[in-house]
Amino acid sequence: MNDEAPGWRAAASELTDDEKRANAIRLAFGGEVDRFNKFVETLGAELPEQTAAVLGGSSVSGRRWEDGSPFDADGPFTSDLDLTLVGSEVLGLYGLTGFYVPGVHTRPLNDDTLDIAPDLVPLRRKLMKIVKNRPVNIQATRDLYVWIREHWLGQPYLLLVGKVEEEEG
């Protein structure tokens, strides 16, 4: 973690899983635990068996990574949900133009990039309906990238489904 990082970044990197979950429910799901649970259940039912799903970004930390603005700083439903699917099988759902790093880390599936992972569009629509049409961006990656973001960059995530392998060392 960079010593010059604003205090909120350091605090965000220290959040417990319970605190991250509470933030997500309060911010992204309007305090409705049932909607959060439905979101998680939908992911579990729709994703390939060996795929994990993690929620990151301001819905978990409470603030935008780039500038520290609070979740929904630009008005109700202006912040999106950053969902990352973790596993090799889900990477196969993205076309070549959908990757930042081929076979490792994808671009986000959103309203402007529906063509990069058409098989995930129905899932995205279901998830957006659960969160009252708040945008849901879906990326896919391997375990290592999620680990690097949390442990090296201090960007917390909340595990929703499955398991993310921890790196040793």
Asked if residue 38 has pLDDT above 70, the reply is: yes
pLDDT tens digits, 52-72 = 999 998 999 888 877 888 999
pTM of this structure: 0.87
* DSSP H or E run through 151: helix 143-151
3 C-beta neighbours (distance < 10 Å), count: 5
Asked if residue 163 has pLDDT above 50, the reply is: yes
Q: How far, in Å, CA of 25 to CA of 37, rounded?
A: 9
The 8-class DSSP code of residue 119 comes to G
Residues 6+ apart with CB under 8 A from 121: 109, 114
The 8-class DSSP code of residue 63 comes to B
Q: How far, in Å, CA of 99 to CA of 82, rounded?
A: 16
Among 80, 77, 75, residue whose Cα is nearest residue 108 = 80
Asked if residue 99 has pLDDT above 80, the reply is: yes
Q: What is the mean pLDDT of residues 8-13?
A: 53
pLDDT tens digits, 82-91 = 999 999 999 9
Give pLDDT, residue 67.
83
Among 82, 78, 43, residue whose Cα is nearest residue 65 = 82
Q: pLDDT class for 142, splitting at 50, 70, 90?
A: confident
Q: How far, in Å, CA of 91 to CA of 78, rounded?
A: 28
